[in-house]
Amino acid sequence: MRNFRIGSLLGIPILVNPSWFLLFALTTWLLATQVFPSVLTSAGNITYFAMAAASVLIFFVSIVIHELAHSLVAKRYEIPVRSITLFVFGGVAQITRDATKPVAELLMALAGPLTSFVLGGMFLALWWFFGAADGSALGLVLFWLAWMNVVLGIFNLVPAFPMDGGRVFRSLIWLISGNYHAATKVACWTGRVIAWMTIAAGVLSLVRVPIPLVSQPLGGAWLVLIGVFLENSARQSLVQNRLVRTLRQYSASQLMVADPPVVEGAMSVGSLARGVLELNPRVCYFVEDEGRLAGILSSYQMQAVPEQLWDSTTAAQAMVPRQRLKATGPESPVSEVLLEMESANLLHMPVVREGRVIGVIGRDRILGVLRNAGLLGRV
């Protein structure tokens, strides 16, 4: 399901996954038909649904603020943040890479739960200011928001990687051991064990075994879904850790294509592609304009041009322009190169030494290393 953008905060796009509407509808229905009527008995259905809709919308704003706190700390450490996405399990900040120091990860991970606790305190203060236990609709909404933000903060501190608590756990192991990969492995396996326990608790609830704080059977089904999500996320993080360890064995100079061909921007795509793509599907040209680098033209850009337009399309028109390019050094670990390419959505990256382009590294070459190592596609 494709995400769609609803706005941005501090330059960070806010996206909504269609699955979020399922959670919005379910939570609104539960609040309007069960939670609020059991406490406020004198109101009507319209009031209950209005209270529920307002509560859920404000709570999801709180989730965005929670994720924004992670993002701001990440940006403080010059870690790019692609977006914040709301989906069926809440929200997630898409931070493009992990921190390079354990203290940075610790601060990033703690920022979200601490923000939720602050928001919970603010809603509690508002509840008290507007009359506390007077039984009003506004008071009930504010109390629910205070309680849910505190629950959100506590839930996120559970040491189930890749949740916030799991990242706090990893950062502490990393800080003590000095070994990022070992810390990641321990945190991921801990997360998987917690996920299996969550699934087991959900299954027991579904078969009517009493589980504290879990309603039956809806709560049990929700626990199973959360457990499956956590287990899959932790398993994928383990795989990613293996990939990074494999790629760190290589430098950019080992995988680059040295001295790639240079062409003029006025040349047609047809003259560069015809008869060449069949022999070298990974061909890549540097495009120059009056002796200066103007961009990169790879097989991907050439194939994106309809063949009937090859002769009327110039290399300058089809290339990835210089402004969108990033460069790396020959000694850079390939794991970092791939992260840069992923964050910038690049298929090729120039390799530069002392300001001069000495080669180009393609994403397909990097994926080939993973494929040869038997890691690509493993789950």
pLDDT tens digits for range 110-144: 999 999 999 999 999 999 888 666 678 888 999 99
**Residue 163 included in any domain:** no
Residues 207, 259: one domain?
Answer: no
Residues 20, 102: one domain?
Answer: yes
Residues 258, 243: one domain?
Answer: no
Radius of gyration from C-alpha coordinates of the chain: 26
Mean pLDDT is lowest, of 69-83, 126-140, 205-219, 320-334, for 205-219
**Residue 162 included in any domain:** no
Residues of the domain holding 357 = 252-372
H or E stretch at 209: none
H or E stretch at 137: helix 137-156
Domain end position, chosen among 128, 157, 186: 157
pLDDT tens digit sequence for 316-329: 999 988 887 788 88
The rounded distance, in Å, linking the Cα atoms of 366 and 248 is 11
Residues 9, 105: one domain?
Answer: yes
pLDDT the model gives residue 345: 74
Residues 69, 217: one domain?
Answer: no
How many other β-carbons are positioned within 10 Å of the β-carbon of residue 160? 28
pLDDT the model gives residue 134: 67
The rounded distance, in Å, linking the Cα atoms of 136 and 138 is 5
Please tell me whether the peptide bond between 217 and the residue prior to it is cis, using omega within 30 degrees of 0. yes
Residues 235, 258: one domain?
Answer: no
Q: In the numeric block, which tokens belong to residue 369?
A: 């290393």
**Residue 170 included in any domain:** no
Domain end position, chosen among 247, 269, 303: 247
Number of structural domains found in the chain: 3
Q: 335, 322, 348, 341: which is closest to 250 by C-alpha?
A: 335
pLDDT the model gives residue 133: 63
**Residue 164 included in any domain:** no
**Residue 167 included in any domain:** no
Mean pLDDT is lowest, of 17-21, 57-61, 165-169, for 17-21
Identify each DSSP E strand in 79-198 by its residue range: 81-87, 90-95
Domain end position, chosen among 157, 190, 208: 157
The rounded distance, in Å, linking the Cα atoms of 136 and 159 is 37
Residue type at position 30: L
Residues 35, 74: one domain?
Answer: yes
Helix axes 180-206, 164-177, angle to 10 degrees: 150
**Percentage of the residues of the chain whose pLDDT score is greater than 70:** 95
**Residue 227 included in any domain:** yes
